[in-house]
A = this chain, B = another copy of it.
Amino acid sequence: MTMPEPIQFHFDFSSPYGYLGAETIEALAARHGRSVAWHPFLLGVVFRSTGAQPLTNVPIKGDYAKRDMPRSARYYGVPFRMPSKFPIATQAPARITLWQRERDGDVGNLVKVFYRAYFVHDRDIGDPDVAADVAGECGLDRTAARAAVDDASIKDALRREVEASIAKGVFGSPFVFVDGEPFWGIDRFEQVGRWLAQGGF
């Protein structure tokens, strides 16, 4: 029997809904015998293609978003505190994640620890030293993780990951593919669940 394809989970570390998705996608996947493949990307690069901007900067909609983010976190039962610095550039945690993925394969725990550092403990994971600290607390080699942030081959890997995400049609975070079918947003996870259960609808 062939293993079913993992759920492809694309996310930016500065995305509140990406955080909520990261906290909930594995349970959803597991209910349907699937694993999760983690794809950090950079929303800022994607926004240059679509003309979008960070949600909290949009007039009127931004005020709603600031209310919806903690409310959605309560709805999903996930701890959440709006970071004092938002949004942030997320190259550092994205590169450490890709570095770890290339070495080991499983980065689910690291992704969630980065996200919680930012969205629960208000640590600026965009700072390479802070990101390396978090990786160290997660059991990785802090010095090697810090070096990965400035490593040319890892920078290239992130560039390729972002380009691949854009080529697949990713324009927001989280963005999920189930056997090639695209779903944008944690608010599509009910549809993802039905898609997994029925193989489409």
On A, residues with C-beta under 8 Å from B are 49-52, 58-61, 63-64, 67-68, 71-72, 74-75, 166, 169, 171-172, 182, 184-185, 187-188, 190-191, 194, 201
Given contacts A182-B67, A187-B187, A187-B188, contact A172 B75 (CB under 8 A): no
**Bound-state Cα–Cα, A166 to B61, Å:** 11
User: What are 28 A-B contacts defined by CB distance under 8 Å?
Assistant: A49-B59, A49-B60, A50-B58, A50-B59, A50-B60, A51-B58, A52-B58, A60-B166, A60-B169, A60-B171, A61-B171, A61-B172, A63-B169, A64-B169, A64-B171, A64-B182, A64-B184, A67-B182, A68-B184, A71-B191, A71-B201, A74-B201, A75-B190, A75-B191, A75-B194, A185-B187, A187-B188, A190-B190
Can you list the 8 inter-chain pairs with the closest CB atoms, starting with the nearest? A187-B187, A60-B171, A61-B171, A75-B191, A50-B59, A50-B60, A74-B201, A50-B61
- Complex interface: chain B residues within 8 A of A64 (CB): 169, 171, 182, 184
Complex: chain B residue closest to A53, CB-CB: B51
- Complex interface: chain B residues within 8 A of A68 (CB): 184, 188
A41 CB to closest chain B CB (Å) equals 13
A71 CB to closest chain B CB (Å) equals 7
A139 CB to closest chain B CB (Å) equals 35
Complex: chain B residue closest to A183, CB-CB: B68
**Bound-state Cα–Cα, A157 to B166, Å:** 45
**Bound-state Cα–Cα, A68 to B188, Å:** 10
- Complex interface: chain B residues within 8 A of A191 (CB): 71-72, 75
- Complex interface: chain B residues within 8 A of A190 (CB): 75, 190
- Complex interface: chain B residues within 8 A of A63 (CB): 169
A65 CB to closest chain B CB (Å) equals 9
